[in-house]
Structure 1
Amino acid sequence: MVNMSSTLSLQGCALHYADSGGDGVPLLFSHGAGADHVMFDAQSERLRARGYRVVTWDMRGHGRSRPAGVPFTAERAIADLCALVEHLALDRPVLVGQSLGGNLGQAVVRRHPDLARALVVIGSAWNTGPLSWTERLLLRTAAPGLSMIPAGRLPGVMAGASAVTEGARADARRAFSLLSKREFLQVWRATVELLDPDPGYRTPVPLCLIRGERDRTGNIASAMRGWAAAEGVQEVVIPGAGHIANQDDPHAVNAAIETFLGTIPDSGPDSGRARR
């Protein structure tokens, strides 16, 4: 676990973050709903060692960024991420996000196309993708369904649905247990708020799509195939991994991210130093 002693105070919340510093290309990692920065420990260690400037953070209400101060909403999450980029003076970071973090990265790039140099999405829904009537119905009923699960069982249920390996499940249970049921439902509703169908939209920066072969969360598996086809990119499917692919098989996800970064001009591990 990295040192998360640095904070940025916003709207009643001390957002905790870790910044490896240095002149390397900045990578900003945003975790999934109910998770925290720990989910990216394997990626942080590997990419820091490769010379990148790695920033991880706990979104408000998650991990060490508690109490949340104000209710978690999509707009507040977008504002928090943008404020962190400005606070750290990150030069067009690569935004890397899992689940909610990937939805958040999509929203930020759509709203501020010059903020990031690339986007890596791990196990996230396609924000602007088309939604069938059935998919819209499932989204409307998901929160009421989750609210029926007893609070004491919710972390275990969510962990079991998110990960395949016991290590990943254990960490998910730990992280989910930090949020109350009410807080988690707020975060879930905010995630749904980030879905805004616009099938003609195309991501204005290089895009990497990664999902676990055994990810059964919502429509991610089917939608990501369509998303990749629409954007003209090849999705990376991690064999045997679930929704939290970066924890189920960190080595495969690390390799996919490194390969992608190598295709982006000025995004190699030494590019930051080369420009100075």
Structure 2
Amino acid sequence: MSTKFLHVSNGTLAFDDSGGSGPLVVMVPGMGDVRAEYRFLAPKLAAAGYRVVTMDLRGHGESSADWPDYSIEAVGRDMLALVDHLNAGPATLVTTSYPTGAAVCAAAERPDAIRALVLIGAFVRDPEMSALQKLMLGLLLKGPWRVRAWDMYYNSLYPSQKPADLGGYRRELRANLSEPGRFEALKAMSGEPRIESERRLGQVQASALVVMGSKDPDFPSPEAEAQFIAQQLAGQILMVDGAGHYPHAEMPDVVIPAMLKFLAEVTQRNGTTTRTN
């Protein structure tokens, strides 16, 4: 699938598009990752009749590298710009980690454009961090070892069932993060607050599914965090037993059926159809 580009204020966003006339699903990966994060999920959704579009975050993947703003509000505007450009909404936003907060902001800002949210490993409020954790994060993101250190951390986010292709995938991520400006984008996002997304949780009208791995190391209690978010959004929860921060890549056989069921419910409520074969 060839890469397409959308020119927005201050930069260019890279995306691919499965095409078709089915309900629109826009997928945005976590920081430090690229849109191929959804390599197991996207083909299954497209085969089920959805128009699946995956977008690289600003500063990541094939999107342009240098941006003046990496806030969740800015990333949310990127999502809305892409949905408007595709002219096929309203869309379901599928996001992981950092851009989950951006998806919340986008849905609250434009309920006409966003009909549903799938929030995976969601960071929609600022985590409580000890002084030691802050020190370790600072060391992780600084120095000549930073790409290798991030890679080791990334590998730890798959605690139970590492994908068969993870070694090659990590090599590609290391190469991308070694390009000029890429790691600076990751570092900038790591310091951005989530105050706005937490504030706007109660304003979201879209249906929501919160997907969380039971062994996600980024949360003291993954289940408690999932429950908090789902309660605020009046949404559903999928806890994936044994999975880490990327349950859709670690245990796709569990996540894909649940996500297809959720999307079918959303589609039925909105009076659109997808293939059943």
TM-score of the alignment, normalized to the shorter chain, above 0.5: yes
Superposed, 1:108-257 pairs within 5 Å as 108-127=106-125, 134-135=128-129, 143-148=137-142, 150-164=145-159, 165-167=162-164, 169-170=166-167, 171-172=169-170, 174-179=172-177, 180-190=182-192, 192-193=193-194, 196-198=197-199, 201=202, 203-219=204-220, 221=222, 222-257=224-259
**What's the TM-score, normalizing by structure 2?**
0.82
**Quick one: percent identity of the two aligned structures?**
23
Partner amino acid for 1:261? L
RMSD: 3.0
Q: Cα distance, 1:96 vs. partner?
A: 0.8
Unaligned 5+ segments in structure 2 are none
Offset, 1:197 = 3.6
CA shift in 2, pair 1:214/1:183, >3 Å: same
CA distance in 2, matches of 1:186, 1:49: 36
CA-CA distance at 1:72 after TM superposition: 2.8
> Matches of 2:270 and 2:174 in 1, distance apart?
35
Change (3 A) 1:204 1:157: same
State the alpha-carbon separation in 2 of the partners of residues 30 and 257 from structure 1: 15
How does 1:259-274 map onto structure 2 within 5 Å? 259-266=261-268, 271=273
Change (3 A) 1:146 1:159: same
The 5 A counterparts of 1:102-113 are 102-113=100-111
Q: How many residues align?
A: 266
Contact 1:23 1:272 in 2 (8 A): no
- Tell me, yes or no, if the aligned pair for 1:31 and 1:58 is still in contact at 8 Å: yes
Give the C-alpha shift of residue 100 in structure 1: 1.7
Which whole-Å CA distance do the structure 1 matches of 2:58 and 2:201 have between them?
32
Q: Distance in 2 between matches of 1:65 and 1:87?
A: 16
Q: Is the CA contact 2:243–2:250 (under 8 Å) kept in the aligned structure 1?
A: yes
Matched residues in 2 for 1:253 and 1:198: separation?
28
Tell me the secondary structure at the aligned position of residue 199 of structure 2.
Answer: coil
After superposition, the Cα gap between the structure-2 partners of 1:233 and 1:75, relative to the gap in structure 1 and judged at 3 Å, is closer
Q: SS state of the match for residue 59, structure 2?
A: coil
Distance 2:186 2:81 in 1: 23
Q: Residues of 1 paired with 2:104 and 2:40: CA distance?
A: 23
| Pair 1:41 & 2:39 matched | yes
Q: Would you say the 8 A contact 2:30–2:98 is kept in 1?
A: yes
User: 2:13 aligns to what SS in structure 1?
Assistant: strand
How far apart, CA to CA, are the structure 2 residues paired with 1:187 and 1:226? Answer: 23
Distance change (3 Å), C-alpha of 1:256 and 1:37: same
Gaps of 5+ in 1: none
Partner SS state of residue 191, structure 2: helix
CA distance in 2: counterparts of 1:240 and 1:86, whole angstroms? 37
- Per the alignment, residue 3 of structure 1 pairs with 2
Counterpart for residue 51 of structure 1: 49
Determine the structure 1 residue equivalent to 2:83: 85
- Relative to structure 1, is the Cα distance of residues 200 and 167 closer, same or farther in structure 2, using a 3 angstrom cutoff? closer
For 2:189, the aligned partner's letter is V
CA distance 1:155–1:243, change in 2 (3 Å): same
Partner of 1:95, secondary structure, is: strand
Q: For 2:201 and 2:8, how far apart are their aligned partners in 1? A: 35
Counterparts of 1:241 and 1:108, CA distance in 2: 28
